[in-house]
């Protein structure tokens, strides 16, 4: 069964303290891996799509990387406004109409 697991469940950092969020996946055939940001009471906001191992994408303080088994979302010198839940999701070739989400990492940045 296709599965996405995110860790840690929650992470509290001091402003400026860099860290990484992990997304491990077990799928029959990866068609794409997505990162979304979700603020409380809002829908997920698209951040990145990664397609193949070794691929990297950056946006401001965020960088996403992909291997054959996991993806990392690196946060460099975070600010309080980066506080949110970060969701990882995959689309597979066997079930291309749906995206399978992990449970997310709740990130809190203290000033």
CB of 64 to other proteins, least distance (A): 13
25 makes contact with other proteins (CB under 8 A): no
103 makes contact with other proteins (CB under 8 A): yes
Query: From CA 82, how far away is CA 61, in angstroms rounded?
Result: 9
* CB closer to other proteins out of 72 and 101: 101
4 makes contact with other proteins (CB under 8 A): yes
64 makes contact with other proteins (CB under 8 A): no
| Class of residue 24 by CB neighbours under 10 A (exposed 0-12, middle 13-18, buried 19+) | middle
Alpha-carbon dihedral sign for residues 99, 29, 48, 18? positive
30 makes contact with other proteins (CB under 8 A): no
Site string for other proteins, 66-95 (x = CB under 8 A): ---------------------x-x-----x
- Strands, E assignment, 2-101: 3-7, 10-14, 19-26, 30-38, 45-50, 56-59, 62-66, 70-75, 84-92, 100-101
Interface with other proteins by CB under 8 A: which residues? 4, 34, 36, 41-46, 49, 87, 89, 95-104
């Amino acid at each position: 069964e296709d599965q996405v697991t995110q860790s840690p469940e929650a992470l509290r950092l001091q402003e400026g303290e860099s860290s990484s969020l992990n997304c491990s996946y077990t799928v029959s055939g990866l068609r794409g891996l997505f990162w979304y940001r979700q603020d409380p009471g809002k829908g997920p906001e698209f951040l990145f799509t990664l397609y193949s191992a070794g691929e990297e994408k950056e946006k401001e303080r965020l960088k996403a990387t992909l291997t054959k088994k996991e993806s990392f979302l690196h946060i460099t010198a975070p600010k309080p406004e980066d506080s949110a839940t970060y969701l990882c999701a995959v689309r597979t070739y066997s079930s291309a109409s749906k995206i399978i989400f992990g449970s997310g990492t709740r990130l809190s940045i203290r000033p």
